Chain A
Amino acid sequence: MALKIVIPERTHQEFGHSISKLLPIVGSITSTREAEVELDFREAKILNPFFLGGIASIIDYARSRGKNIKSNHRENNRINSYLDRIFFPACCGPQRGHEQSFFQQLEAYQAKTYIPMIAFPTGSDSYHSSIREKMLSAISALLKNQLNFKERERQPLAYFLDELTHNVNDHSGAIKGILFAQFYPGSNYLDLVICDNGKGIYASYEGNTRFTPADEAEALRFAVNGRSTKDRPESKGFGISTSRKMLVNGLRGKFFIWTGRTSFIETIEREDFVQFPANLSFPGTFIALRIPTIIAETFNFYDFIE
């Protein structure tokens, strides 16, 4: 018998709302013993990138473990064209030998307020690093145009894209990461999600002789405070720590990271480590950023670079 999961009608604007809708679905899919899962999109109307990015990632994870995941989103006329345009849930990305067609595909999003769900490849060989280099360049340029950003405004956005995708490449052990963003012009913010189905932050410290976190919560504490999971003397591991500081303290945005059953949430008002019930575990790392698109004149990008 298949596990049936009803996708909510909408996720609301509040930062935590879409996360609260995502958590139980991730928990259900990762903990079910059923071989088949049916995602019922019949009621869905408006869904946020945090929710959709997380669902795409967990579908990919479950399929990689042999689960049969079915979705009826194509039967819902209110949302199917949007989901198709963002390549939900399969994601788009450069295929070896056909890289150019992917980059041409991105051009079609110049006049949109979102980018498609992109599966970016990991790997440090010259092919993968040059593809990632081109992708980051293209995505950064695309978002700059969509948001009508000047260079000064583009800097933090490019920084988040660079640092957080590098983390996936350098630490996750995953073969790919997922990146997705949606701009909300009426509310003046961009929601950006970057996630992977890799080994998670705690496991990424394994074998590290400098930092040996005792548990998942301490590992996340190390990561958000700039202790690198890389066991190299020159490595600094500032990607997550500087990104959250720049986002929250510099831009007054919001930051959420979830790995295993542990999360860290930072806004102007709060800075909390939160451990979820055991069945609400994310396999890998999930990062959600709400990035304000109106940037204070007093913001200085270089104040946050380390």
Chain B
Amino acid sequence: MNCESTIHVEQLLGKTLHTREASRHLFGFVAASPCDNIELDFLDVDYISRSFADEFHADKLKLATDHQKSIIVTNANDEIMNMLQSVARTQNKQYKPNTTKTVYRYSNWGPLESYLLSI
């Protein structure tokens, strides 16, 4: 339906959002809305975690693909904006694990203890 609705994130989830499940919960409400344009109002939300932001990004893309709904984020503070942007920026980053690192193996306690005490 071509209409716009607003979800107040702080009222729904609280001031700090730490988990992936919180994003899924939020997008459950978004998906249930009959409107195509959803405003997510982050007024009074102080903090989102990287996990929340990562899940938010994935959920947002899925929503656009599966339900053709668009999301507008409003009243997000600088930290929330920075977190969302940082996570979005690095979504396709390829990781090269350092496979050249040696594994040091200890079979006796004495040398291992010396090693640990040197840290």
- Residues of A in contact with B (beta carbons under 8 Å apart): 14-17, 19-20, 23-24, 124, 126, 129-130, 132-134, 136-137, 140, 151, 155, 158-159, 162-163, 166, 169-170, 217, 221-222, 225-227, 234, 236, 238-239, 241-242, 254, 256, 262, 265, 267, 270-277, 280, 302, 305-306
- A275/B103 contact (C-beta < 8 A), A133-B14, A242-B50 known: yes
Q: Is the CB of A277 within 8 A of B17?
A: no
Dominant secondary structure at the B interface: mixed
Q: Tell me whether A137 and B14 are in contact in the complex, defined as CB-CB below 8 angstroms, given that A126-B21, A276-B106 are known contacts.
A: yes
- How many A-B pairs fall under 8 Å by CB? 132
B: contact size bracket = 35 or more
B67 within 8 A of A: no
Task: Kindly state the separation between the CA atoms of A120 and B68 in the bound complex, as whole angstroms.
Answer: 38
Q: How far is the CA of A266 from the CA of B95 in the complex (A)?
A: 19
Q: Who on chain B is nearest to A269 by CB?
A: B119
**CB within 8 A of B119: which of A15, A159, A262, A275?**
A15
Cα A241 to Cα B50 in complex, Å, equals 13
What's the minimum C-beta distance from A65 to chain B, rounded to whole angstroms?
A: 24
Query: A172 to chain B: closest CB distance in Å?
Result: 15
Residue of A nearest to B104 (CB): A274
Q: Is the CB of A132 within 8 A of B19?
A: yes
Q: How far is the CA of A126 from the CA of B99 in the complex (A)?
A: 39
Complex CA distance for A79 and B60, rounded to whole angstroms:
51
A16 CA / B115 CA spacing, docked (Å): 8
A166 contact set on B, CB distance < 8 A:
19-20, 49, 51
